[in-house]
Structure 1
């Protein structure tokens, strides 16, 4: 399985946004904090915006925020937002894949690999990757007291 640079950069950018959800971050700040090439990050953030994972606001008070609560964003959402299909074979979906003769069972193995990867990525939310206390809103901390 190949994890693309886009998926890695997208996840890292979303984690930066989840770390401090109350304030917007610029692409420059995210790129600097995560050591991501700025021009590549701009493209990735555009794809995340189209997928609804981030929202943006222009102006001096602008920047990027998470498009929905961090706990509702999984790594599977991130990968699908920037890469589309989780696993492809020669650029094609595994859905209609079929082989003749002795290789007939192989497509089922590839589909099980995809299902397993989707299960792992779908179980990991942004907050589960953040250090304890990061990304909490003040009202979250008050409720814990």
Structure 2
């Protein structure tokens, strides 16, 4: 294999396919954002949770979490309240917040090739269908991430098609 990395997304986006490691990467930022949002979704409605508490509950570095919460706030996923009883809470119902919403808020598009949309790639010759594969990869990510909500995670009841993927023995093999 070439030592050149083939990327589905730029370094700052959540998911990248790295040829050297042969794995799909989910950034720490995305992982922390989803976990923090789950805590907020499972909390009492309209009762803010302090960033420090979220950090402790999910073992997330506090300074890193502040930046994540800021991105989630800027995207309209969470709201903040100042003061002694301040903190963070969901800005809308957990049923309306998909994992894709969270990923896009903190890391940008679900899939990109060197920072550009897969369909904007122009390959020729024997590689002319490669961009179509990158589009298909993005579409498959959407099937899981756009259709799974915070409410699904908190209720521990995933969409049937997502659970079917998880239940597949092949899903758990590392290759």
- With the shorter chain as reference, the TM-score category is 0.7 to 0.9
State the match for 1:72 in structure 2: 96
2:146 to 122, 131, 137: 122
TM-score by length of 1: 0.87
- Larger RCO of the pair (alpha carbons < 8 Å, separation 6+): 1
RMSD: 1.1
Shift of 1:91: 2.5
Q: Quote the residue 2:121 is aligned against.
A: 97
TM-score when normalising by structure 2 = 0.72
Which 5+ residue runs of structure 1 have no aligned equivalent?
A: 133-145
**Would you tell me which structure has more helix in proportion to its own residues?**
1
CA distance, structure 2, for counterparts of residue 53 and residue 2 of structure 1: 23
Task: Confirm or deny: 8 A CA contact 1:27 1:63 kept in the other structure.
Answer: yes
Question: Which range is displaced more, 8-17 or 18-27?
Answer: 18-27
Counterpart of 2:36?
13
Give deviations 1:12-41, integer Å, cap 9, x for gaps: 010000111421100000000000000000
Distance in 1 (alpha carbons) for counterparts of 2:64 and 2:132: 35
Aligned residues: 132
Which ranges in structure 2 are unaligned for 5 or more consecutive residues? 1-23, 157-175
- Alignment check: 8 A CA contact 1:21 1:66 kept: no
Aligned to 1:51: 75
